Chains A and B, each alone.
Chain A
Amino acid sequence: MIYQTLAERIRTNKPVVLLTVISGPNIGATLLVSPKLGELEKLGTLGDAELDRVAMRDALGELEAGRTSVRNYGPTGQVTPEDLHDTPTVRVFIESFSPPPQMIIFGAVDFTAALAKVAKVLGYYVLVCDAREVFATKRRFPMADEVLVTWPTPVLTARGSDLGPRDAICILTHDPKFDVPAIQGALATNVGYIGVMGSRKTHAKRLERLTEVGVTATADLDRLMSPIGLDIGSRTPEETAISICAEIIGKRVGRAIPSLSQGSGPIHK
């Protein structure tokens, strides 16, 4: 029953945390905790009700942060060094299963299919959005988890508050009607990555239009990775997708890798 619930939660992208005693009394004992609408569903036990309570509290913190770790307790949940003196140590493996990060791609263009494909390899939940219904079809983007025919503003209004540091927004349209509202909407979220496609010339023109609508704060403009991607000399949509995803990874872990957005001169040499 624990395994079935775990598998079901993982498959439906719902958060769940699995606790396992890996040394000490009750080795192999398992507790599964699923947050559901403000309540907690608890299956199994680590062997002691107080230990369950204390470890569960820690596990929910780990789940919130998307972390997996090992913690040490006394057999009845003791955590302070004095209480742990002279008692066997129970080591508990706390394994968090967070929902996958999301990537929202605006613009149903050639690059979109390649980017969606690479993002799926990296484990993203991928949403493709374009206002043109001939282009935004599930048939063209079978790898995407969702394809929406709409404008950026309603999508980001509805989902923006769910986006966090692990998530990404990639704006691949070169159409000001579409990319200006997409950038405005993206800047209103806490999304970790905002990439905008286009040449340096396109980007300069876009900056003028952003100024017209009042997007001028340096802190905002610095969040825009544009031109999008790392400077690895990509040419094909697939190579470009790799350069975008590599930039996302580098930005998330805080590595200084030469992004196109920090250079000058033509993108394609």
Chain B
Amino acid sequence: MREILSDIDHWRSQNKRIAVARVVDIEGSGPRDPGAAMAVNQDGVVSGSVSGGCVEGAVVAEALEILGSDSPGRLVKFGYSDDEAFAVGLTCGGVVHLFIQPLEW
């Protein structure tokens, strides 16, 4: 979170809507530990990361959808052999659980 505070502050000063995605759990091998955070503003501009670059694209899409709806946030899972979620995964074979929510607090 520390590394994305400056960007978030900047976007807040411009009254941009912001979604924050945080790693809440990993199963097996995962590139980033719980707490890794990424912020996406309403224009799709990104700060921070939640994996080694494997799932960030899908996180942006999910974050923009949440900002465009009245969702209070949702859990999203990305994994190599996961049929339910997106067709993206971690090449290391792990599963990462993210919570993505609008920054309205």
Look across to chain B and name the residue whose beta carbon is closest to the beta carbon of A67: B34
Interface size class of B (residues with CB under 8 A): 20 to 34
Q: Is the CB of B75 within 8 A of A22?
A: yes
Q: How far is the CA of A218 from the CA of B75 in the complex (A)?
A: 51
Which residues of chain B are near A2, meaning CB under 8 Å? 105
Which residues of chain A are near B1, meaning CB under 8 Å? 6, 10, 95, 97
Q: Is the CB of A68 within 8 A of B99?
A: no
Q: Is the CB of B9 within 8 A of A28?
A: no
A27 contacts partner chain B, Cβ-Cβ < 8 Å? yes
Q: Is the CB of A28 within 8 A of B73?
A: yes
Which residues of chain A are near B74, meaning CB under 8 Å? 27
Interface size class of A (residues with CB under 8 A): 20 to 34
Which residues of chain A are near B24, meaning CB under 8 Å? 22, 70, 93
Q: How far is the CA of A69 from the CA of B33 in the complex (A)?
A: 10
A7 contacts partner chain B, Cβ-Cβ < 8 Å? yes
With A10-B1, A28-B101, A30-B105 known to touch, is A95 a contact of B35 (CB < 8 Å)? yes
Most-contacted residue by chain B among A11, A28, A30, A44 (CB, 10 A): A28
A190 contacts partner chain B, Cβ-Cβ < 8 Å? no
- A112 to chain B minimum Cβ distance, whole angstroms, is 25
Which residues of chain A are near B88, meaning CB under 8 Å? none
A20 contacts partner chain B, Cβ-Cβ < 8 Å? yes
With A3-B105, A44-B105 known to touch, is A22 a contact of B99 (CB < 8 Å)? yes
Which residues of chain B are near A27, meaning CB under 8 Å? 72-74
Q: How far is the CA of A201 from the CA of B12 in the complex (A)?
A: 58
A23 contacts partner chain B, Cβ-Cβ < 8 Å? yes
Q: Is the CB of B35 within 8 A of A7?
A: no
Chain A residues 1-37 with CB under 8 Å of chain B are 1-3, 6-7, 10-11, 20, 22-23, 27-28, 30
Which residues of chain A are near B99, meaning CB under 8 Å? 20, 22, 93
A65-99 vs B: 1/0 string, CB under 8 Å? 00011100000000000000000000001011100
Most-contacted residue by chain A among B22, B24, B74 (CB, 10 A): B24
A–B Cβ pairs within 8 angstroms, 27 of them:
A2-B105, A3-B8, A3-B105, A7-B5, A10-B2, A11-B5, A20-B22, A20-B73, A20-B99, A20-B101, A22-B73, A23-B75, A27-B72, A28-B101, A28-B102, A30-B105, A44-B105, A68-B33, A68-B34, A68-B35, A69-B34, A70-B25, A70-B34, A93-B24, A95-B1, A95-B35, A96-B35
Further 20 A-B residue pairs, CB within 8 A, beyond A7-B5, A68-B33, A95-B34: A3-B8, A7-B8, A7-B9, A11-B2, A20-B101, A22-B24, A22-B73, A22-B75, A27-B72, A27-B74, A28-B102, A68-B35, A69-B34, A70-B34, A93-B22, A93-B24, A93-B34, A95-B35, A97-B1, A97-B2
Measuring CB to CB, which residues of chain A are less than 8 angstroms from any residue of chain B? 1-3, 6-7, 10-11, 20, 22-23, 27-28, 30, 44, 68-70, 93, 95-97
